């Protein structure tokens, strides 16, 4: 939405535009209004509808809109003009529907009609990303088995449910989850995987400063408290804001929902120390999830940007633990 408001889409003649989801984010950049935010997203679809049709090899290339039918905002995005409009979903009627979704430590499997599809990336929410790829592939005449192979062969999206393996006997995942919907999705996946095994879910989270939405902080604190066994609250990117205020906005809400400081709730401002704590709590077959930054390459504290990569830090700390064992 910010890129669209900055006209970054100008000069690009899009053929296909996809709507996956819409949650409150970057609202300060849109006057604090969710409607303004939604309308900014809509500009891309409007731009598609008004742009010229290409001819490639003498063939007219039709404009296509692909929309998540499960979203309450589907009608808004379906209203824009296009030669072809397709829908996808999990829980609603749509042109392409995924059923029988199964989460495992190795990824996700699901069915479209009678055809089985597999993702080698954890998280059933990733099915929402896979479905429009299936729709596009099918519309371009790509054979079904090629689409299936392409999905299964995708092993890694950096910082998105990325497993970090240094030979430890528990699972560590780094993910970009940084607001209500993504945090809920990640922790729901964790709960499905752990199920009734008795293994623990340990989550590290935080929130950004720098004018980002403050209202999401307590919401994430509540989600983490309800859906994990241990909560570590640590810096993400406070920018020039007070880090303690950001962390407390999350931690206080986690306390309201049953977490106890020093027992299953830890507020650790230094992110490396927070990661250390999360890893130290893990026992065999537990699940540790480091959220908030994914594959980002910096951390901004007191207005100063420093080199940072959660995946690198997690590997360093896992090796340190292995060296001390």
Rounded Cα distance between 133 and 127, Å, is 10
Helix (H) or strand (E) run with residue 190 in it:
helix 180-194
Q: What is the mean pLDDT of residues 158-180?
A: 95
Q: What is the mean pLDDT of residues 50-70?
A: 94
State both tokens at 282: 């893990």
Confidence of residue 25 (pLDDT cuts 50, 70, 90): low
Q: From 3.40.1390.20, 3.40.1080.10, 3.40.1190.10, 2.60.40.10, which CATH number describes the 2-153 domain?
A: 3.40.1190.10
Q: What is the mean pLDDT of residues 58-78?
A: 95
Which range is least confidently modeled, 6-10, 134-138, 204-208, 244-248? 6-10
Q: What is the residue-averaged pLDDT of the chain?
A: 92
Rounded Cα distance between 123 and 309, Å, is 22
What single-letter DSSP state applies at residue 280? Answer: H
- Within 10 angstroms of residue 23's Cβ, the number of other Cβ atoms is 14
Q: Between 212 and 312, whose confidence is greater? A: 312
State both tokens at 162: 């990325």
* 43 class by beta-carbon count within 10 Å (0-12 exposed, 13-18 middle, 19+ buried): middle
Length of the chain equals: 325
| pLDDT tens digits, one per residue of 237-291 | 999 999 999 999 999 999 999 999 999 999 999 999 999 999 999 999 999 999 9
Rounded Cα distance between 258 and 87, Å, is 40
Which residues 6+ apart lie within 8 Å of 23 measured at CB?
A: 179, 180, 181
Angle, helices 180-194 vs 216-227, to 10°: value is 0
Rounded Cα distance between 171 and 286, Å, is 6
Confidence of residue 28 (pLDDT cuts 50, 70, 90): low
CATH H-level, domain 162-324: superfamily = Mur ligase, C-terminal domain (3.90.190.20)
User: pLDDT at position 26, please?
Assistant: 61
User: pLDDT at position 117, please?
Assistant: 97
Q: What are the extents of the domains in the chain?
A: 2-153, 162-324
User: pLDDT at position 105, please?
Assistant: 81
Rounded Cα distance between 133 and 98, Å, is 13
Rounded Cα distance between 263 and 171, Å, is 21
| pLDDT tens digits, one per residue of 212-241 | 888 899 999 999 999 999 999 999 999 999
This prediction has a pTM of 0.86
| pLDDT tens digits, one per residue of 15-24 | 999 999 887 6
User: pLDDT at position 210, please?
Assistant: 86
CA 168 to chain centre: 25
User: pLDDT at position 108, please?
Assistant: 94
Instruction: Kindly compute the dihedral angle of the four CA atoms of residues 26, 29, 33, 35, in this order, to the nearest 10 degrees.
Output: -80
């Amino acid at each position: 939405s910010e890129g669209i408001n900055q006209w970054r889409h100008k000069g690009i003649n899009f053929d296909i535009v996809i709507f996956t989801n819409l949650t409150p984010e970057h609202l300060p950049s849109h006057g604090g209004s969710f409607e303004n935010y939604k309308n900014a997203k809509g500009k891309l679809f409007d731009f598609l509808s008004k742009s010229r049709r290409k001819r490639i090899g003498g063939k007219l290339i039709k404009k296509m809109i692909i929309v998540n039918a499960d979203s309450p905002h589907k009608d808004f995005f379906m209203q824009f003009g296009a030669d072809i409009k397709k829908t996808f979903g999990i829980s609603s009627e749509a042109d392409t529907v995924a059923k029988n979704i199964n989460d495992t430590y190795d990824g996700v499997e699901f069915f479209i009609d009678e055809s089985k599809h597999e993702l080698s990336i954890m998280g059933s929410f990733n099915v929402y990303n896979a479905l429009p790829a299936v729709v596009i592939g099918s519309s371009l005449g790509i054979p079904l088995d090629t689409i299936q192979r392409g999905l299964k062969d995708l092993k890694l999206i950096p910082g998105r449910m990325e497993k970090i393996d240094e030979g430890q006997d528990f699972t560590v995942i780094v993910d970009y989850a940084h607001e209500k919907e993504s945090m809920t999705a990640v922790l729901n996946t964790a709960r499905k995987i752990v199920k009734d095994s008795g293994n623990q879910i340990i989550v590290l989270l935080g929130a950004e400063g720098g004018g980002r939405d403050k209202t999401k902080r307590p919401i994430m604190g509540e989600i983490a408290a309800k859906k994990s066994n241990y909560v570590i609250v640590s810096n993400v990117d406070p920018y020039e804001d007070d880090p303690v205020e950001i962390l407390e906005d999350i931690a206080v809400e986690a306390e309201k929902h049953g977490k106890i400081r020093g027992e299953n709730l830890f507020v650790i401002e230094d992110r490396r120390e927070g990661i250390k704590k999360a890893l130290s709590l893990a026992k065999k077959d537990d699940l540790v999830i480091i959220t908030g930054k994914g594959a980002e390459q910096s951390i901004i504290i007191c207005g100063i940007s420093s080199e940072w990569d959660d995946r690198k830090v997690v590997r360093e700390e896992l090796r340190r633990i292995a060296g001390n064992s």
